[in-house]
Each structure stands twice: as structure tokens, then as C-alpha cells.
Structure 1
Amino acid sequence: MNTGGLLALIWLLLQNQLLRCIREELLVAGKFDVCVTSFEMAIKEKSTLRRFSWRYIIIDEAHRIKNENSLLSKTMRLYNTNYRLLITGTPLQNNLHELWSLLNFLLPEIFSSAETFDEWFQISGENDQQEVVQQLHKVLRPFLLRRLKSDVEKGLPPKKETILKVGMSQMQKQYYRALLQKDLEVVNAGGERKRLLNIAMQLRKCCNHPYLFQGAEPGPPYTTGDHLITNAGKMVLLDKLLPKLKERDSRVLIFSQMTRLLDILEDYLMFRGYLYCRIDGNTGGEDRDASIESFNKPGSEKFVFLLSTRAGGLGINLATADVVILYDSDWNPQVDLQAQDRAHRIGQKKEVQVFRFCTEYTIEEKVIERAYKKLALDALVIQQGRLAEQKTVNKDELLQMVRFGAEMVFSSKDSTITDEDIDRIIAKGEAATAELDAKMKKFTEDAIKFKMDDTAELYDFDDDKDENKFDLKKIVSENWIEPPKRERKRNYSESEYFKQTMHQSAPAKPKEPRIPRMPQLHDFQFFNTQRLSELYEKEVRYLMQTHQKNQVKDTIDVDEPEVGGDPLTAEELEEKERLLEEGFSSWSRRDFNTFIRACEKYGRNDIKSIASEMEGKTDQEVERYAKVFKERFKELNDYDRIIKNIERGEARISRKDEIMKAIGKKLDRYKNPWLEMKIQYGQNKGKLYNEECDRFMVCMVHKLGYGNWEELKAAFRTSPLFRFDWFVKSRTTQELARRCDTLIRLVEKENQECDERERQARKEKKLAKNITPSKRGGRQPTESPTQQKERKQLSMDDYANSGKKRK
């Protein structure tokens, strides 16, 4: 694609043939200027993209790399680039560490340590607060170019947020009260944060719709009707709001965190006849694009777009909508802001109205208030430099949230849903929102001026005073009815239901005998499966035949039929119990995988080390299992792959031992190897590392062990020998490992040459010893048969010559 003289290569998720074509023909140096791709393709095709030295890398939605340990963040750091640019609407979502992660990506040399970054901006007292603020501004100013939508697009219509509060239906009150009664001790006296979080989640489900609990929806048969609306306060409010929005030609985005709630909303929209689209975490890429295109096309009849807050709140342009309904609020206000910006963005022609639904006198009120306060504090980090570390909601805050409004819930069982007109509800919501905004403005001003009391909590709620604390035990008067989770039945068949109901009046079938079930036997538990199956089959066969005999006996008065099978004998029962005990029934798949990984790491013979990796298993248990594994590993389904992996690991261990022996042999030739050791480089010395560095490396590997590259790197950094050697101190662990492998090859080659010279010397010494006459016996060296023959021939010639002379 040509864009003003630039050749842009658009490389998104494509089929394999197209990918191959792009990779081989288009993605070639000199054939393109700009490559536009997705995060998924950047990860998938990293080996291809890493071949280039990129002038610029520009990442949109850059908060996706806020976690430096994520796969995407690690992949992005692999690319060789001259310049880096991050574009994001939320540089700070949760805490200061995420801001460091982005800065570390931009300049890893400067922002190398998260701990140092935290120390820079740590507020220890009021005296150094102003200094910290100035320091923050100094650090961020060169790297942060902040632009608001109002700065870029002067004609962008405003955004107006209104909190619409609504009461609870009778069914909601019943479930809300029951949820509090279930964990009464935790709510009244406090408990673990995990349990409180679970209670908070269940209460929020109840605020959204009671049909999220299984058994709450009337049925079977499950039919859509007015009960879907009247049993939830928010649905009543939505049912009043949507006709008014439809009348004025608005188009609506509805966000919720719960995908099962989107199922209920989908049923409601079909019941009312509204056309809609939907995106959640299970929506595929093609369906997602098709839904967005269908909603945004000119003259589209789609009125509502259902989206899950997390899946649909990023990277989507839905500026054709002008109303955003947040059916429930996220703990993190930045997520809700991202959701609102799907409509309030450049290209929007109308004023955007945001309606945030809130169930009155419930946990939701405090969740929204906390979110507003968190948003105000987050803004101070970028705008004012305030660096109050944002923590997750703690146990005390959760307890206050759960308790809030409980007295109102228990005091009345009746519905508190208002019958007021929607205009009146919106007017009340605007007044409540203005009041909350004023409260937040004062909170922000106090935070900027550092007026906050040292002992005050950031999220300080009105009802956390001890004098206002009430005892829920005194309020509770009814028995607990446990609400189970709701599972949506999407494919319910009414005809099938009535068919089953008609059959219920039929005469009951005779009760089947209780068949003993064979326990689930896995291959890695090493049971004698064949023999156990035979015993169980025999037992079942006898029971079934006995049952058939009893049936015949009850219905027809005939002679007792002969039973074909025999029951298990006492010896067989004992054998069955013994076979069940011989297997490793307590070993789970997780235990087996841990055992295999430990065998790869330490070798099959190091039982003690293997046992140290196994949780909940004694050394004797592991030794017994290892013995059986060695004998019967071929019974495993995938034993070829498992044994190959173990042997590969054992080969690594063996190779490591060889390396350590080779280095030890080299060092033994010197009295002080740290100073005297020489390395025979031959022709491959290289120019980057000097001999002192190599000597230190070999000696440290001998001391630390081969493979401990982090410790080796730390040794170089702390050693006074290399205090000013920037090159060595800046090497990565991978580079040190490569250099070390090169040195080990040289050491092994030198050891081979030494061994060869020693063998040759021993051989020459032995040969010389054989040639020299022995001092003790004075014996002549033995003659070879050829020498003896020559000597005899000479003697005979001498004898013949002497005879001739005599004649």
C-alpha cells in the first residue's frame, strides 16, 4: 500500500499461504518503508521480524506491555530499534510499577531497576513531599508528551456522566439477605480477605440480576417474559431508559463485566425486539470485525451493542454510538474510562451521555465511590506529580463495603424499585453525580495540598466508625437459603420438557442393582489393570445375573433359573484389595509430572533430590515409585517421549560433570590458577575479552558450577578487578554463557593434547625400558626368529671356511 510516497506493509492475521508469500516476497529489505502489524503477529513472527534493524517501533495501546514479564513485553524487547514510541490513554492503571515498566521499555539503561525507581519517589515525611513532586516532573518531562482529546480535536462534543441509582426487587432482597446470613460470622467479626472478596462478588451478582444464581429463574420450562425485567431493579431502569433513547435516535453501548449477564440482556433485547450486536471474550476475530462493521455502517439498524468491559473496552471504534451504559462498574476505574472512550473519541458528532447503573444502599455504592477516589488520585500522578501508591482493596475496606446498606436490606422485604418517570430518575441521578463530583473535587484539592491526615485511609467510608457499627446477628431473623450459581440454559426445548413430564406418571421401573464401580486407574499409577478388570467384570456379571433371577422370580412363578456366574471367592476379594493397594492411587497427574521434571533435572538415580521436589511425598514413597517406574515405564501411553526427555536431561547432567572435571583438571596443573593459568587460544583468541577476564571466568565457573550464569554475572560486577571494565560488566548472561562454552572447548582441546603427550611419553619410556639390558640378571635381550636364523647361518659359514683351510 502506498501512503504519500511511503510503502506500507500491512501484516495482520492471515492464512498460512498469504503469510508465506508476505514473508518471502514482500518482507524484504528495500521493498517497504513501514510495517503495520498486530500484537499477535509480532509474537508469532518474531524470528522473521528480528532480522531487521528497525529505525522506529511505535506501539499503540501501550499499556498492554505494563507487565514486564508478559510474553508480549518480552517479545517487544527483543527487537533491535533506534527509537521507541509508546501511545496510550492510560499510562498509569494500577500502581507505580506499571509506569516504571513503560519507562524501562523506552530507556532500559536509565530505568534499569524498579527498586531504585521506587526509592526515587518514596515519600517518607511531609518535608520532602515538594521535593519528590519536583523530582517526578524532572524525570517525566523529557519522556511524556500528554495530549487530551480536547487539545487535539477542538470540536469534540463533551461527555456527561450520570449515576442512576435504583432499588432492589423483592427477589434481589431475598438473595442479598441470604448471602449475608450465609457468612454471618465473617461479615460481623471480619475474616480472610479471600472470603470477603468472594462475598463481595456474590453480592454484586445479586445487584445485577438474581437469575445469575441457578434456581432463581422460574422453570422449567425457561421462557422469556416480564419476569426477566421485574425481578431486577437495573432491568426495570433499562426498560424505562431504552425506549426514550430509541425515540431520540440515539444508539447505545451496554458494558458489563459478566458474560452470563450479557446472556440475560440478549434475551431481554430479543424479547423487546431491539436489534443488537455482541462482543465478549469468546467472540472470534472475524465475528468481532463483522459485528463492528455491521454496527458502524451508514444507516445501520442495530440499536444496541453488548460488550464485556475487558474484551470490548480496548482498541474498538464505536463512535457511531452516543450513549454508554455501564451496567456494572469495574474495581479499576481506568477500565471503565477505556470503555467510555469507545464512543467518546475523535469522529464523534454528538454529545456522549454515560449512564452508570448503581443499586442503592448496596455494596455497589461504595465500589463506585472508591473508583472515583482512585481516579482522582491517579490523575494527580500525571498532572500534579503526587505518587501515592495505589494498593488493592484491603480487608477493612471490603468489610465496610459488604456491611454498607445491610441494615436497610434486613429492615424490609418489599421491593424498593421506584415507579417514577425516567426523566425524574435521570434528574435525580444528575444531582447525585454533581454532589459526588463536588466531594471528589474537595478530596483532590486536599490531596494536592497534602492536607490528608497521616492516620486517614485513602478510601475512608462514612460508616467505618465504631459508634455506627451494628451487630448483624441482632438484625437477622430468618433462616438461610443457599443460592447456587446460575447457569444459562441457552438451548432449552419446551417440547422435550413436556414429553418428560408426561412420562413421569408412567409406572416406575424396577430399581437397578448397585453396580460396583471400578476406580479410575491412570497409567502412571501402575496398577495391574488387566487383572483388576477381570475381577470387576466377574463381580458385575454375577450381580446382574442375580438381579435378572430376582426379576423373573417376582413376576412369574417358575423354577429358579441357574445362575451362570459365581461370586468372587475370599481369595479373589483379598487379591482385589491387594492389587488396589499395590498401585499408587495417591499419586495425581501433577505428582507424576513433578516426578518426571525432577528426573530430567537430577537424573533417575538421585532419589533424594527428586524427593525434595515432591510435595507431600516421603523419600520412601518416592524411592518405591522410582523403582516401579524403572521396571514398568513402558506401560505409559507416551513413554517414548517421556524417556527421551529424561535421557536428554541426564545427558545434560553428564555433560555438566564432564565440563567440571575438565576445568578441574586444567586448574590442577597450576599452583595458583587465579594468577598463573594460561589458556591456549590458538588462532581464535578474539578481540573483545582479554586473558585476565577469561581466567577469572574459568575459575569462577569451577567455583560456582556450570550453568549459574546470574551468579557469574554478579561476580564480574562486584569484583574489583573489573571495576572500570564497562564491556565485561555490561554483558548479559547469554553472552557470558557463550564465551564460557568457547573457553571450555579450548580447555578440553588442551586437556586432550596433554593426555596424548602423556600417553606418548609413557609409550617411549616403556620402549626404552625394553631395549636396555636388565641390571639384575644380566640376561641378553631376546632375539627375534629372523635374528636367530641369520646368526645360525653365519656360524655355519664360519665352520665351512675353517674346514677348507685344513684341507
Structure 2
Amino acid sequence: MYGAVLADGMGLGKTFQTIASLYSLLTKGINGQPTCRKPLILCPTSLVQNWGKELKLWLGERVVPVVVDDTRADHVKKSFQEFRAFGHGGKPKVLVMSYPCFRMHKAEVYRMGLDVVMCDEAHFLKNGEAQITQAVAGLASAKRRLLMSGTPIQNDLSEFHAVFDLACPGLLGDLKAFNKTYEGPIQRGRDADATEKQVTLGLERMEQLMKLCNKFMLRRTSTVLKALLPAKVEQVMVLEALLKGIKASEPTDKVVLVSNYTEALDVLGGMCASHGWPALRLDGSCSVKQRQALVDTFNSPEHPSFVLLLSSKAGGVGLNIIGANRLVLFDPDWNPANDLQAMARVWREGQRKRVWIYRLLIAGSIEEKVLQRQLAKQGLSKALVDDVGQQVRTFSRDELRSLFRVDPTTPCDTHQAIKCSCSGSLQDLDSCKERAAAAAAAAAEGAGSGAEQQGVLGWAHLARALDSPDPTWQAVSDFVRNNFVTYIFSDHVIGETQHCL
């Protein structure tokens, strides 16, 4: 086996690690001699230029990036000719392409004799039957493969199999055998109504799977950044009042507003314009070249922009938007990995300010159900990729069937769903501390990953906005706080410098 999966969490420097590994393969190799000579980097369209920029940043003139950032046939042909040609003083060349461009020109790429392929945001290859996944698998000459993804599991274990089968073909067997041996028992063991025997078998199979995969996978979570980066806080707020509060209390802070829908971005853009807040916008209408330039402009402290309107589909992956230290998820995504990817745009290496991340959810609506579904999916991902310990099986199948029931009277359906006994007041401060201590003890004993593993169960549960650790609420009107904010989940344990995530 020559492949590997780099599954570090978002913002932990997968790009830098990949570039360092690539340069080692191109120069010193494993035995003091170059191990590869014709590398290919594949990535989403929005990241093609960024990869060229990162190669220049870290390697300077040591390599020659050949960036295919234009899908027109004449440009692609010219780029391929440049990659094949001798020159540049014998410096190694690195071919950088988007997944769609590679799929369209795969036949010609196959003939280049590439000997290593590195796939960024490898969850784009989660469907083993998709044309792009099969196209990458067809790179027979590139036996050395590195697949990078902070979210190698987004929905189910078949996606994990697809990614791993590209990196290490045959390691996990075919999909049918994998489902029978691993996915089926693991999923049944995680059901709310699973028998003790099913739970035990599921944990055993999960441990076997991770023992096998960990030989070829490196996974570290964002907890390693807690000593180096400012604390990250997630809260539910009312957007307009929040932005006014930020402007009043922290006028130098910048905000990223993320939505899955361009129509919503239109509304948010109009709101910013009505208040005179300078705003930039990055969505699918921006060309690949424009996207990186726009991000660089927004990141500049000298630029007056206060808000970046960001389409999660166009810019929610891979971009470094550390010029902002506040991010608002205006609407939730059914796929938790998409929201996690969006969050990681601001809370990552290079950030110098404390980061605040907010989700806006309508209490008792389908938006809360989406959040609950996210928690169920994240539990599976954490169980397999992050830890093999016993998981809290928070939602049963019947509870998931209630997705479309609306409760206009509840202040927070999620708080009821997790069956938490706290009242959401400062009087429950001790119970918040106890949850954090219990999670930390479990992590110390190797039985879990602390409050991060427990999800919202280990966060502070607040029925009053003023109890939030975010001082911005002091600048928000009493009318908004008392009439429109019914509940807040915060991953900050009140009164402590330690944070739960």
C-alpha cells in the first residue's frame, strides 16, 4: 500500500503538510532519492488558484506550479504542454487541476505517466459510483495517493469506504463485503433501540475497522489548536441585532454571513446596504480568479468592508477568511460537514482574534430538526474517525421521523430532545461545570473526546441572552433579547477560562 488519508480537522494545516510531503517526495524521497517526478494535485474549482498561491508561498522558486485555472480547451492544452516540456532549470513541476477539468481531460492526463496524486477536499469523491471518483481511480500510474479531508464521513460509512478505497485500493474489500462486515453491525449498534449484543458487536467492528485504517490515516481534531488559537463560541442570535451589537461594541471586527441560498444573500445584502455597512459578496457568479482576489481584499485590515456575504456552495470549502473573526450560519445544511467547513473558514491557522460563530435557528421548526439530524450524523463521524469509545445515542429513529412536526410553543425543541434536566438559568452553573468535568474525565480515561463528543449536551444551556459569555449582547436592545431570542446553546462554560467544544 502506498496511499494515505490525511483527515485532520479543518484549519490544522493539511495544505502545508501536503506541500511539505510533496516536496520531500520530489527531492529526498524515502531513500535519499526522488520518489516521484510527475505530481498531480486535484481540488475543487474554487481552490485551484489558491493551491498555486500556496505552492509559491511555501516553496518559492523551488518548484514550478502549472495551474490549470481555465477550462477552455486551448488553455488546457497549453498547460499540459508546459507541464510536459523540459526547462525551468530542471525544477520539479506540479500540475494543479480542478476535479471537473480532470474528468473532462482524463484520457490525456492518463497518458502523462503521473506517479503521485494528491486530492484536496476528498469528500468530493465520496460516491464510489460517480464519474469523478472512477476517473481518479483510473490513474493507474499514480500508485502513491494522498487524500485530504477534514470530513471523510458526511452521511454514512459507504462514503468512508469510497475515500479509503481510492487511497488504498482493496484494503477494505469491496463495498458489499464492507457493508456486511462493518457498516451494518456498526449502524445497528448505534440505533437507539439496539440490543446489548448489537451494541457490543458494533463497537467491536468499529474498533477493528479503526485499527486497520489508522495505519494509513492521520486524524487530529481542532482541540490541538485550543492552546494556540482564540476560543470559538457558537450561539444562536438574531442577525440584524447581532450586527448592530458588533458594530457598537467591537467596531473593528469583520463578519462572514453564510447561506445556502443566493436569494437569502440578496436579502442580507439589502439589509447591509440599508444600514450603510460595506459588504462584499462571493457566490457562484464569481469566477475562480475573482474568488481568491475577493478574499484577499476582505482579509486586508485596511479595506473598509464589514461583511462578507458567502455562498456555502461557492466559498464554504478551503478558503482562508481570517480577516473576519465572526461568522454567522444563516440557515443550516442537512449535511453537517458543509456547516463545519463553513465554520472553519475563520477559525484556523493565522487567526489572531477571538472567534465567535453563530447559528440562527427558528425554535420548534424544521431548522431545529436539521440541527438534530446533524448531531446524529456527527456522532457517527466522531465515533469512527475521532474515537472508538461509547457514544451517546441521542436521537431514536422515531424522533428523526418527527422532522416535519412544528411546535410553535417550545422555546427550544433540541433542549427537550436531548432530555436535559437543567432549567437554562445561571442557577444551573454547577451542572454545566459537572458536564464539562465528566466529559474531561471521560477523555482522560480514553473513553471519549470530552464535551466535543457529547455535542450540545455538554454545552451551556441558556434561557436568557444576557447570561451568554458573548459581551455583544450587552449592546443589543432589550426588546430583541426578550422577544426574539428564546434559547442559546453555547460551547463556553460560564465563569471558566476552559472551553468545551
Question: What range describes the TM-score normalised by the shorter chain of this pair?
Answer: 0.5 to 0.7
Q: Residue 91 in 1 paired to residue 152 in 2?
A: yes
- In structure 2, C-alpha distance between the alignment counterparts of 1:284 and 1:242, rounded to whole Å: 31
Q: How does 1:91-110 map to 2 (within 5 A)?
A: 91-110=152-171
Contact 2:364–2:406, Cα closer than 8 Å, also in 1:
no
Which residue is 2:114 aligned to?
54
Q: Residue 37 in 1 paired to residue 110 in 2?
A: no
Greater share of strand: 2
Q: Would the alpha carbon gap of residues 293 and 120 (structure 1) be closer, same or farther in structure 2, given more than 3 Å must change?
A: same
Q: CA RMSD in A?
A: 4.1
Q: Residue 294 in 1 paired to residue 297 in 2?
A: yes
1:407 Cα deviation after fit: 7.6
- In structure 1, C-alpha distance between the alignment counterparts of 2:84 and 2:151, rounded to whole Å: 33
Q: How does 1:470-509 map to 2 (within 5 A)?
A: none
- In structure 2, C-alpha distance between the alignment counterparts of 1:267 and 1:297, rounded to whole Å: 23
Among 112, 118, 134, the alignment partner of 2:179 is 118
Which residue is 1:243 aligned to?
247
Q: Residue 131 in 1 paired to residue 131 in 2?
A: no
Which residue is 2:344 aligned to?
341
Give the counterpart letter for 2:241 in structure 1.
L
- In structure 2, C-alpha distance between the alignment counterparts of 1:275 and 1:88, rounded to whole Å: 34
Contact 1:12–1:41, Cα closer than 8 Å, also in 2:
no
So what's the TM-score if we normalise by structure 1? 0.40
Q: Residue 354 in 1 paired to residue 357 in 2?
A: yes
Among 254, 262, 284, the alignment partner of 2:265 is 262
Structure possessing the higher radius of gyration over alpha carbons:
1
Q: Would the alpha carbon gap of residues 152 and 323 (structure 1) be closer, same or farther in structure 2, given more than 3 Å must change?
A: closer
Which residue is 2:14 aligned to?
none
Q: Residue 161 in 1 paired to residue 234 in 2?
A: yes
Q: How does 1:528-539 map to 2 (within 5 A)?
A: none
Show CA shifts across 1:494-533 (max 9, x none): xxxxxxxxxxxxxxxxxxxxxxxxxxxxxxxxxxxxxxxx
1:445 Cα deviation after fit: 6.9
1:449 Cα deviation after fit: 7.5
Contact 2:67–2:79, Cα closer than 8 Å, also in 1:
no
So what's the TM-score if we normalise by structure 2? 0.62
Give the counterpart letter for 2:351 in structure 1.
Q
Q: What 5-or-longer segments of structure 2 have no aligned partner?
A: 1-55, 187-196, 413-423, 449-454, 458-501
> Which structure would you say has the larger RCO, counting Cα contacts within 8 Å and 6 or more residues apart?
2
Give the counterpart letter for 1:41 in structure 2.
C
1:4 Cα deviation after fit: 5.7
* More divergent stretch after superposition (396-405 vs 311-320): 396-405
Q: Residue 324 in 1 paired to residue 327 in 2?
A: yes
Show CA shifts across 1:569-607 (max 9, x none): xxxxxxxxxxxxxxxxxxxxxxxxxxxxxxxxxxxxxxx
SS at match of 1:54: coil
SS at match of 1:81: coil
SS at match of 2:256: strand
Among 7, 12, 22, the alignment partner of 2:69 is 12
Q: Residue 21 in 1 paired to residue 78 in 2?
A: yes
SS at match of 1:34: strand
Among 370, 375, 378, the alignment partner of 1:367 is 370
- In structure 1, C-alpha distance between the alignment counterparts of 2:371 and 2:438, rounded to whole Å: 15
1:235 Cα deviation after fit: 4.8
Greater share of helix: 1
Q: Residue 71 in 1 paired to residue 119 in 2?
A: no
Give the counterpart letter for 1:54 in structure 2.
L
Among 290, 310, 315, the alignment partner of 2:313 is 310
Q: Would the alpha carbon gap of residues 407 and 106 (structure 1) be closer, same or farther in structure 2, given more than 3 Å must change?
A: closer
Q: Would the alpha carbon gap of residues 134 and 381 (structure 1) be closer, same or farther in structure 2, given more than 3 Å must change?
A: closer
Q: How does 1:135-154 map to 2 (within 5 A)?
A: 135-149=208-222, 151=224
Contact 2:322–2:348, Cα closer than 8 Å, also in 1:
yes
SS at match of 1:359: coil
Q: Would the alpha carbon gap of residues 269 and 28 (structure 1) be closer, same or farther in structure 2, given more than 3 Å must change?
A: same
Give the counterpart letter for 1:9 in structure 2.
V
Q: Would the alpha carbon gap of residues 74 and 370 (structure 1) be closer, same or farther in structure 2, given more than 3 Å must change?
A: closer
Q: Would the alpha carbon gap of residues 400 and 58 (structure 1) be closer, same or farther in structure 2, given more than 3 Å must change?
A: closer
Matched-pair identity in %: 26
Among 240, 252, 273, the alignment partner of 2:276 is 273
Give the counterpart letter for 2:68 in structure 1.
W
Contact 1:254–1:306, Cα closer than 8 Å, also in 2:
yes
Give the counterpart letter for 1:118 in structure 2.
N
